Amino acid sequence: MDVRIEATWKEILKNEFDKEYFIRLSNFIKNEIREGKTIFPPGKLIFNAFEKTPFDKVKVVILGQDPYHGSGQACGLCFSVPDGIKPPPSLVNIFKEIKHDLGIDPPNHGNLEKWAKQGVFLLNAILTVRKNEAAAHSKAGWENFTNQVIQTISDKKSGVVFLLWGNFARAKKALIDTSKHYVLESAHPSPFSATYFFGCRHFSKTNELLQQQGLTAIDWSL
């Protein structure tokens, strides 16, 4: 199957695209569209996280669950929204923690592309959603694919910092070789659990871990 995905990822994941689950997943998405369902993000942005952060550039992984399901919000980067769209509550809380941790004032937008271009892989476990129906595609097969993505990063790279926020993300720790990668865990930044997210200092800790390896720190300002 010819999947439109960034070249380094296409090469390293090439065995996935002809597997039965991925073909079923592709057919599922096509059927949704044929039936007139509105799918987010737009087709050209489904693999945006891969486009913005090629495999060889990945230094940090932030894992989300599924895309925002409101009109205009989903852009293929977890937690991020396009310019001109109000940052959702979880993202607002991420910015609050960055302010607490590093003293960086919150931006007036929610576009996280600057992070992605520095090597922060902003991966949702589920890459599509139906308009106004959270987790509508949670059983479609995306997690088979994204679990393999996480496993591949774990197997083929070293020293990557994984930020796992909330129980859903923390369950992915089983896919990561913690003998050669770093895993930072906390509660989810959602308003329902942000009290336990605040104070995690994951942004300064990430930079310390990168710099210990001789890598450039992430500029978390936007």
Residue 1 in this model has a pLDDT that exceeds 90: no
Name the residue among 206, 8, 178, 177 with its Cα closest to residue 94.
206
Look at residue 2 in the predicted model and tell me its pLDDT.
81
Mind listing the pLDDT tens digit for each residue in 172-205?
999 999 999 999 999 999 999 999 999 999 999 9
Provide the b/e sequence for 52-86 (b: ≥16 CB within 10 Å): bbebeebbbbbbbbbbbbbeebbbbbbbbbbeebe
66 part of the active site: yes
On whether the CB atoms of residues 53 and 118 are closer than 8 A, the answer is no
3-state secondary structure of 136: coil
Who's near 88: CB < 8 A, 6+ residues apart?
68, 73, 81, 110
Considering the candidates 66, 83, 101, 177, report the single residue annotated as catalytic: 66
Q: Where are the alpha helices (DSSP H) in 35-160?
A: 48-52, 89-102, 113-116, 142-156
| Element spanning 20, H or E | helix 20-34
Position 111 confidence tier, pLDDT thresholds 50, 70, 90: very high
**Model pTM?**
0.97
Name the residue among 115, 127, 57, 55 with its Cα closest to residue 91.
115
On whether the CB atoms of residues 49 and 77 are closer than 8 A, the answer is yes
Mind listing the pLDDT tens digit for each residue in 67-84?
999 999 999 999 999 999
